[in-house]
Structure formats: C-alpha cells, structure tokens
Chain A
Amino acid sequence: MIGDLLLSIFNTDFLFSVIRITAPILFAAMGAVIAEKAGVVNIGLEGIMMISALFGALIGYWTQSWLVGVLGAVVVGILLALLIGFFAFKMKTDIILGGIAVNMLGAGGTIFLLYMFTGMKGNTGALVTRDLLIPTVNIPLVQSIPFLGQVLSGHSVLTYLAFLFVWLIWVILYKTPLGLNIRAVGENPNAATSIGVSVEKIQYIAIAFSGALAGLGGAFMSMYYSQGWNSGMVAGRGFIALAAQAMGRGEPLGTMLSSLLFGFAQALRTKVSGMQGVSSYLVSVIPYLVTIIGLVLYAISTMNKLKKRQVAAKGAE
C-alpha cells in the first residue's frame, strides 16, 4: 500500500492537484500575512471567503462574465474586511469578535442571502455554468516540458495569481512606502502616529488587502474549485490560512511553504480516500492534524532558537 501511495504521489496528476488545492488557502494566507504585519488579526477570513464565493458566483451569473464575478467577489471581500475594521478600530469591538461575527454571516447569512436573491437554498445549483468558470491557461513553453509541464501548466488564471501574490506581497511589504508604514504600524503604532502616519488608515488598508485576497480565495472556490457555491465548501480554509501564516512566521515565502504543506495533505487525503479499506473520515483529519503538528514544530523550533541564542551568548564569554 505504501508503494502504491508513493507511486501515486510522484505523478503529475497529484502534484497538479497539490497546486490547485493550495491556491485558495494561499490567497487567504497572504491576506493573513499582510494584516498581521500591520498588527491586525483577521479571523474573519473564513466568513469573507464564504460570502465572496457566493457573490462571485451570483455576480458572474448575473453579468454572464467570470471576470466581473471575480471582481465582485474582491469588492465584497474588501467591504466585509472594512466592516470588521470599522467595528474594531472605530467602535473598539475586539477584532477577534468582529471576525467571528463575519464568520457567522458566512455560515448562515450566506444561505439567507442566497435565498433572498435567488430563492435557492444551500447551493447555487446550475447557476455557475461551464463558461462562467474561471478559465485555465496553458503556459506556452512550460507546457511542453515533460512532467513539469503537466504539473505547472493548465491551471486557472487565479491559481497563477495566487502564487504571483506571494511575490507581490513581499514587494509591497519590503520595497514600498506602504510596506514601510505597515511594518511600522505593526511594530510600534505610536511611532507611526508620532510622525503623522495614521495607524487607523494603514490598518484599514491592510485589512482591506486581506479582504480582497480572501475574496479571491472565495471566488476561486465557487467559480473554479467546486464549480458552484454550496454551504459547506470553505470548510475551515480561512482558519487554516491563519495557521499557515503562523507556521510561516508571518513572512510571505514561509507562509507559501506552509500553505503548500497543507495543500499536499489535502491532496493526499483525496488520493488515499479512494483506496480500499481506508476511512475517508480519518483521512480527512490529515490536513488539520498536519496544521497542528506544523504549529507545534514551529513553536518548538522557535523555542530552540531562543535557547541556542542564550547558550551562544553564554559561550561567547
């Protein structure tokens, strides 16, 4: 069985699916990264993904354009993030509670909204037709490379965008004036205030970014991954994104790697659950368990680093 497993892992289909599964988590995780850098905990990513997913599908259907649908999802994501921001920064609601509120909207509110707009319950059924799905692209040269081509080419536009965002977020954080402000606000808000950088404004921008990214993640789910919206479809990905951010030490690259780890675990689950004598439920545990283990390993490594540094300091005398 292990042999079968290895074989099935190192084939192009599997690796292709790892990338596909990672993409939505990556979007949300990058949202977590940029928010966290500004000192903002956005636990509402899960709810934002759900609601954006719904609106992506609906707007795509109404306008008969996948692109407008995706943009709509982004706008909805930004609005929801700003809602959390408004209550957290202006009304001084604990931001975690603000996030939970949006998650509630995501869980039940979406069903309500779907019904309100369409009269449908639970899923969008046939609204998202094949030509309303986010299109896939073959990358001209890459696709002809054996093995690699089959893994890397033929993904949806948004999949590539997700990975592009890793680099983009890094550039924003470390190379732009905005990034300088974001890091300053996250590290010492008083310093930012004292020279006239509005902490509130920067945090609004950061949380809006995280909302936009979660919105893209949501659109990816309903308009590509699940090919339609249904009520259980985000299934904790927003939370996992938070875990990926923590595991990736809040840096874009590290977070991408931990998102990939989760994508891998999820893909493995799909693979293994098809096998004889394997409980699909137990396999479903893998991604969540991997996340916990990853967090634990990360925490241990941080502790060891601290200890090593202390030992080194003592040894230097």
Chain B
Amino acid sequence: MSDRRLLLFNLLRGLAAILLALAVATIFIFLSSDEPLTALKYLLVGPVVSFKATGNVFNTVSFLTILAAMIPTIFSGLAVCVMFSANQFNLGGEGAIMLGGFVGALLGIYLHLNTGLHQVVCVLAGAIAGGLIMLIPAVLKVKLGASEMVTSLMMNYVVMFVILHFLNFVFADRTKGATQTFPILETAKIPEIVANGTKLTWGFVVALVFVVIIALFMYRTKWGYAIRMIGINQSFAQYSGMQVGAVIILSQVIGGLLSGMGGSIEVLGRYNTFLWRELPGYGWLGITIAILAKNNPIFVPFAAFFIAYLNKGCDLMATYSDVPSEMIDIIQAAIFLFFAAEQFLAKYRQKIVVRNAQRDLALQEAYADQGDLALPNVAGSQGGSIS
C-alpha cells in the first residue's frame, strides 16, 4: 500500500488537530472578550510582529525570546519522549526540573570555580539530582509493581515542599523581602549568545545538541532500541532476552537527567537567584510537546517552538486585550485531545487503506489468472492484502 500517502495523511491530520484546537480557542475568545479581533491578532501574529504606526515589522527580539523560552521545554519534551517511548507514564518531570534547578543554583552560589567549568559542574549536578529522584518511581515500579504514574505525581509534591523548606529555612537571603537565595555567582551563569536581554543563552545550543543526541540514542543505539521495543511490547522484549527491568529504570533515569539538566540550565541562564516557589510547569509542557512530536526527539524543537509561540501569544493577548493568558491551558488541552486521538479523521485513513487493498487485490487477481498454484505466495507478496 502507499505508505507515502498515509504519511502525508498523518501530517495533515496533525495540522487539522492543531487548527481545531485554535478554533476552540477562537470561540472562547469571542465568548469572553470585548475586543476579540485584537486578542486574536496578538495571539496569532503578536509573537513575531510588532505593530507600529508606520507599519508592521518582524519583531526579532520577540522571536528570540520565544527561542529562549524553548530551552527548558525542549529538555522536558525530550525527557517525556524517552519515558513514554518505554511506555512509562512517569509524570515526575515537574519535580525533577525544580530539583535540578535548585541543585544547580546552590552549586552556582556556594561553589567557587572558574567560569566554564562552573556551569558544567552545576548543570551536571542538576541533571544527576533529577536522575536520582526518578530512580524512586522507577525502582518502585520495577521491583514492586507500584504505578510509576501515582508515585511520580506524589514525588512532585514531596520535592516541592522539601525544596521550599530548604529555600525558606536554610538558604534564604534574609536581606531580601521575597523568599529567594543569595545571588548566583557570575562564574556559574550561562551567558546569552548575543547579549541583548532576550535570555537566549548558550543553553539553547546545548538543548539542540541534546535533541540530536537523544534522537541518535533512541534510534541508533541498543539502549534506545530496547526502550522502544519495551514500549511497544514488553512481553516480546522480555522473551527476546532484553533486561526489561533495567531498561525501564534506565528510561526514567534518563528522563530525570534531561529534566534536571533543563531545570538547572533554565535557572542559571534566566535568573539571578533561585526563586521558584512552586512547580515550574515545564514538566507538563514537556508532555504536550512529546505528544505533538509523537515521541520522536527530532520533532521536539518544532513542537517546543509551537508551544512557546502560543505561550508568548497568550501573554501578549493578556497584556494588550482583556483575555487572560491562561487561555494557553485551554488550547493545550484541546490539542492534547485531538492530536492524541487515533480515531480523529480515521474514516479517511480507512478509505485510503481500503482503496490500496482493492488495488492490491486487483493485482493479485491478475497473477492468479496466470493460473498456477502460487495463490498464497502471490497474496503475500502484495504486502499482506489477504491473510
């Protein structure tokens, strides 16, 4: 059958899901706003266009801030890709990111190292912290069969409150009004690629490098292969001789490492002190991104860009019109539902399949007319058109 047509169909289907989600958003905007057109304008084109009396121009700074916003979500998206590929519904990304950010910040404050080395140490420490915390749901799942989903959700709260405790009672800078740490040393800060205040740091480059690394890992290494096979069919993987338990743990630890790394890079690149007082939300965004990317790391940056763009659009919409920025959650939920819906437009897919099968059938009849005993074989050669 023509796989290419199916591929094209899948692409169009994704696009349709996104458009439908935006349509839902539009309806809500018209329902809630007195100036819906302004709101829509800012939501859809505001992120990259500045509206001026002299005409509309491409807003480079704004575009760069969107790229900057992708840094943590590329990491969390990659993390979810790896974990979901192994069929592990670990939702602990939130906690791992916050922990990675906190650990990275502390080392950035209290450790004295040369710049260059300092960032590397901080980010690695953040990553390791994220990896270690994910060991808990992973090991409980493998050794005891406890649902990683439930334990990881609970872990998020545990991590958050423990961090808040340390932030408030141990590491707080009492000279400041708000609860925050002492400033992160300059040697530990991740600099911007171009110093223009967009916060587009070298972390963005690191994130893209990790996209490549994780893509290679998932599709070109034995570990990634094992993760994917376990995700498709765990019984098959076990029977084939894969170390299923170890790989399941590995997938979640890698998810934790990536989340922790994303958290520390974000904190060291964006802030002067550690000041997250609640879970940052990047973990959930990561899930949306992984869904949009169909768990394929290569698509993660595109999905992350799309989400960052929408986020920016929602912020602008909230600033320049009367629609609250939380609109983003409604759009995300709608994308989630439609994009992940296998049956969405499935009728059309079935039509393509049926048409192809009929064509195969005709071909096969042609062979059969030649009148030998090859019927079963010819049938098979048409790519499984008959059983």
Interface contact A112-B28, CB-CB below 8 Å: yes
Interface contact B330-A109, CB-CB below 8 Å: yes
Contacts of A91 in B (CB 8 A): 337-338, 341-344
**B332 part of interface (Cβ distance < 8 Å):** yes
Contacts of A240 in B (CB 8 A): 154
Known: A90-B343, A98-B337, A302-B145. A292 touches B332 (CB 8 A): no
Complex: A243 Cα to B155 Cα, angstroms:
12
**B89 part of interface (Cβ distance < 8 Å):** yes
**A165 part of interface (Cβ distance < 8 Å):** no
Contact with B along A92-106 (1 / 0, CB 8 A): 111011101110110
Chain B residue at smallest Cβ distance from A293: B154
Contacts of A96 in B (CB 8 A): 89, 149
Q: Which one, B149, B151, B158, B346, contacts A43 given CB within 8 A? A: B149
**A284 part of interface (Cβ distance < 8 Å):** yes
Chain B residue at smallest Cβ distance from A117: B32
The A-contacting residues of B in range 127-152, CB under 8 angstroms, are 136, 140, 144-147, 149-151
Known: A93-B341, A104-B284. A292 touches B155 (CB 8 A): yes
Complex: A189 Cα to B51 Cα, angstroms:
58
Known: A97-B340, A112-B324. A239 touches B146 (CB 8 A): no
Chain B residue at smallest Cβ distance from A83: B337
Interface contact A239-B153, CB-CB below 8 Å: yes
Chain B: residues with Cβ within 8 Å of the partner, total of 47
The A-contacting residues of B in range 161-211, CB under 8 angstroms, are 161-162, 164-165, 168-169
Complex: A246 Cα to B149 Cα, angstroms:
11
Interface contact A281-B168, CB-CB below 8 Å: yes
Interface contact A292-B337, CB-CB below 8 Å: no
Known: A104-B332, A107-B329, A281-B168. A295 touches B284 (CB 8 A): no
**A148 part of interface (Cβ distance < 8 Å):** no
**B328 part of interface (Cβ distance < 8 Å):** yes
Complex: A292 Cα to B328 Cα, angstroms:
32
Contacts of B365 in A (CB 8 A): none
Contacts of B287 in A (CB 8 A): 97, 100
Interface size class of A (residues with CB under 8 A): 35 or more
Complex: A111 Cα to B32 Cα, angstroms:
12
**A303 part of interface (Cβ distance < 8 Å):** yes
Contacts of A300 in B (CB 8 A): 144
Contacts of B306 in A (CB 8 A): none
Contacts of B291 in A (CB 8 A): 97
Complex: A303 Cα to B340 Cα, angstroms:
35
**A282 part of interface (Cβ distance < 8 Å):** yes
Complex: A243 Cα to B157 Cα, angstroms:
14
Chain A residue at smallest Cβ distance from B168: A281
Known: A93-B340, A239-B150, A285-B161. A295 touches B329 (CB 8 A): no
Kindly provide the distance from the CB of B40 to the nearest chain A CB, expressed in whole angstroms: 15
Kindly provide the distance from the CB of B14 to the nearest chain A CB, expressed in whole angstroms: 14
Contacts of B147 in A (CB 8 A): 246, 295
Complex: A97 Cα to B370 Cα, angstroms:
52
Chain B residue at smallest Cβ distance from A281: B165
Kindly provide the distance from the CB of B34 to the nearest chain A CB, expressed in whole angstroms: 11
Contacts of B337 in A (CB 8 A): 87, 91, 93, 97-98, 101
The A-contacting residues of B in range 315-335, CB under 8 angstroms, are 323-324, 326-330, 332-334
Kindly provide the distance from the CB of B208 to the nearest chain A CB, expressed in whole angstroms: 27
| Interface-central residue, B89, B161, B343, by most chain A CB under 10 Å | B161
Interface contact B326-A295, CB-CB below 8 Å: no
Interface contact A102-B333, CB-CB below 8 Å: yes
